């Protein structure tokens, strides 16, 4: 288990860390954090329960239990990672375990939005490159330096041009990924929109 957790804040431009490879397509958020752990009113205690059932099944052999991955912070996954339930508890649990960025073949939409909203950049790479990283991780530790400005991942042996949605990249570089204040900057426009919407007027029974 990791030491104390500090959430990311402000601009995110570089992430350096060891990769942890998790093989499998369509890994859903129920697997990342089973529903019984959602019975909480804050996210603080989630890190211990990440992948709880998968880890129990693999009896210590799950990547999140291997000693050599103890300090890893860049998760490498296959396709449609984070599908299913919208629970933000899933990326929150990963983040609290120590994950700071994810590289995968593809991500489910809501999971991706949740990651962006809490400051975990998600990058994509073609299947071949992901497999290359995963094979490498099988044999030895891989330390990557991710440069968000140029969308690059570099290491001693492997280098990749990462893909990331332009809007997400810009938000991380400017620090606007924590969207609340950006949205509230347009308070006048929000009021204006509220007054323009046709259904606001005819929904007098709404409440």
Partner 1 sequence: MSQDTLFDKVWDLHKVSSLPGGSDQIFIGLHLIHEVTSPQAFGALKDKNLKVKFPDRTVATVDHIVPTDNQSRPFKDNLAEKMIETLEKNCLEHKIRFFNIGSGNQGIVHVVAPELGLTQPGMTIACGDSHTSTHGAFGSIAFGIGTSQVRDVLASQTLAINKLKVRQIWCDNKLSKGVYAKDLVLHIINKLGVKAGVGFAYEFAGPAIHELSMEERMTICNMSIEGGARCGYINPDEKTFSYIKNKLCAPKNEHWDKALRWWKSLKSDENSIYDDVIKLDASKVEPTVTWGITPGQSISINQQIPLLDELSPNDKLVAKEAYEYMSFKPGQLIKDTPIDVCFIGSCTNGRISDLRVAAKVLKGKKVSKNVKAFAVPGSEKVATEAKQEGIDQIFKNAGFQWREPGCSMCLAMNSDKLIGNQISASSSNRNFKGRQGSPNGRTLLMSPAMVAAAAINGKVSDVREFNNL
Using CB under 8 A, list all residues that contact partner 1.
24-26, 28, 30-31, 34-36, 38-43, 53-54, 56-57, 78-80, 83-89, 91, 106-110, 113-114, 117-118, 165-171, 174, 176, 179-180, 182-184, 186-187, 189-190, 193-194, 197-207
Going by the DSSP 8-state scheme, the letter that residue 205 receives in this structure is T
For the chain, give the longest Cα–Cα distance: 65
Six-digit token string for 74? 């860049």
Q: Which residues pair with 74 in a beta bridge?
A: 19, 101
Least distance from partner 1 to the Cβ atom of residue 78, Å: 8
Least distance from partner 1 to the Cβ atom of residue 117, Å: 4
Give the span between the Cα atoms of 176 and 74, in whole angstroms: 22
Six-digit token string for 145? 């330096």
Cβ neighbours of 156 (radius 10 Å):
8
In the Cβ-directed half-sphere of 81, how many Cα atoms lie within 13 Å? Answer: 28
| 137 neighbors 131 (Cβ within 8 angstroms) | no
């Amino acid at each position: 288990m990791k030491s104390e957790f500090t959430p990311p804040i402000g601009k995110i431009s570089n992430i350096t860390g060891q990769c942890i490879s998790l093989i499998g397509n369509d890994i859903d958020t129920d697997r990342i954090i089973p529903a019984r752990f959602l019975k909480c009113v804050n996210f603080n205690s989630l890190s211990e329960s990440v992948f709880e059932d998968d880890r129990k099944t693999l009896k210590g052999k799950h990547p999140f239990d291997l000693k050599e991955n103890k300090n890893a912070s860049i998760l490498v996954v296959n396709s449609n990672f984070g599908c299913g339930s919208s629970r933000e508890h899933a990326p929150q649990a990963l983040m609290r375990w120590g994950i700071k960025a994810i590289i995968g073949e593809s991500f489910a939409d809501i999971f991706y939005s949740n990651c962006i909203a809490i400051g975990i950049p998600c990058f994509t790479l073609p299947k071949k490159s992901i497999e290359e990283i995963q094979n490498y991780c099988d044999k030895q530790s891989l330390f990557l330096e991710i440069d968000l400005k140029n969308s690059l991942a570099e290491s001693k042996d492997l280098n990749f041009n990462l893909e990331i949605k332009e809007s997400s990249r810009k938000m991380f570089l400017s620090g606007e990924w924590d969207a609340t204040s950006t949205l509230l900057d347009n308070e006048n426009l929000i009021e204006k929109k509220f007054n323009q919407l046709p259904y606001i007027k005819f929904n007098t029974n709404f409440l």
